[in-house]
Amino acid sequence: MPFDPELVPATGTLTDPFGRDITYLRVSVTDRCDFRCVYCMAENMTFLPKREVLTLEELERLCSAFIRKGVKRIRITGGEPLVRKGIMELFRSLGRHLDAGTLGEVTLTTNGSQLSRYAAELADCGVRRINVSLDTLDADKFRSITRRGDLTKVLDGLEAADRAGIAIKLNMVALRDFNEAEIEPMLRYAHGRGYDMTLIETMPLGEIDDDRCDRYLPLSEVRARLSERLTLTESAYSTGGPARYVGIAETGGRLGFITPMTHNFCESCNRVRVTCTGMLYLCLGQNDSADLREPLRASEGDELLSRAIDDAISRKPEGHDFVIDRQNAGPNVIRHMSVTGG
């Protein structure tokens, strides 16, 4: 029977105004990335000064505070988290919480470019699952959408993670007139290697160079097309995140749908996000936030930090207000996904 982080006893409880227990923390460790994906970043990004970014020690303190309050899952994100210098120190620190039984799971979202280097060490630190962003298997299109990525490095990284015993899920952003014809081939590629796969609708976050209306592809449309060729069966499978899964009879694998635009998942939201600067965002699609860096740096103790977390959770909104259409072509939220954490 697979290990279930939800069975880990909580030492505290974070409950929002709508009765949802917050058990899932996503932590961005850097806004920097070695790619410039067209739906995520502008080509010429201005990154944060290093003095504004939390140190690895501060990130560990912050994570520990949330663990004491009942968080059972922590996902490390970016930017690209594995480009952060010394990042394995944080994974080793979180691994000690796994060993102690106070944390159920540490996962990672990555573009895969650094996996060949770090996969074995990640497994040694207790990472058992990762999400890898991959939108095409065409090398030229991959370089086009990432503006600088090398598909071969990513595929080598997937093989390294697989050898290390890490379960892999591919995250594919569905983009009209770019990769919609590649969704089924990607699905067969993933399931043929024992990977899960999730499709994601593009979201109105941050100023980018493309027109989101031109690229936006509702997953309801994608699912209808897939159903014409494949047998999709509703699944109760869940990883604790927002994806809703179906089984694919022809491949024997699972396919998830993350649909913030066509069918939001706010009613079951159990997560909050912390940026690499220590800003706690209570909802991906809202601007309400709390500064955790100030209490972190104001005292060596965690009393101020704990109070700031409690106060913030008491303001968590019920849901987001994402819209993409010709009248709302700009971002609903100004910050880029690379700042909030993917």
Enumerate the known binding-site residues.
26, 33, 37, 39-40, 75, 79, 109, 133, 169, 203, 266, 269, 271-273, 283
| Edge-to-edge strand ranges of the sheet holding 105-110 | 232-234, 244-248, 253-258, 196-201, 167-174, 129-133, 105-110, 73-77, 24-28, 271-274, 279-281, 289-291
Which residues are known binding-site members for GTP? Answer: 26, 75, 109, 169, 271-273
Task: List the beta bridge partners of residue 172.
Answer: 199
| Identity of the amino acid at 341 | G
Q: Are 30 and 45 within 8 A, CB to CB?
A: no
Side-chain-side CA neighbours of 69 within 13 Å: the count stands at 27
By three-state DSSP, how is residue 278 classified? coil
Give the DSSP H/E element, type plus range, for residue 58.
helix 56-68
Q: The tokens of 39 are what? A: 């739906």
Q: The tokens of 257 are what? A: 């749908």
Which residues are known binding-site members for [4Fe-4S] cluster? Answer: 33, 37, 40, 266, 269, 283
Which residues are known binding-site members for S-adenosyl-L-methionine? Answer: 39, 79, 133, 203
DSSP string, 134-156: ---S-HHHHHHHHSS--HHHHHH
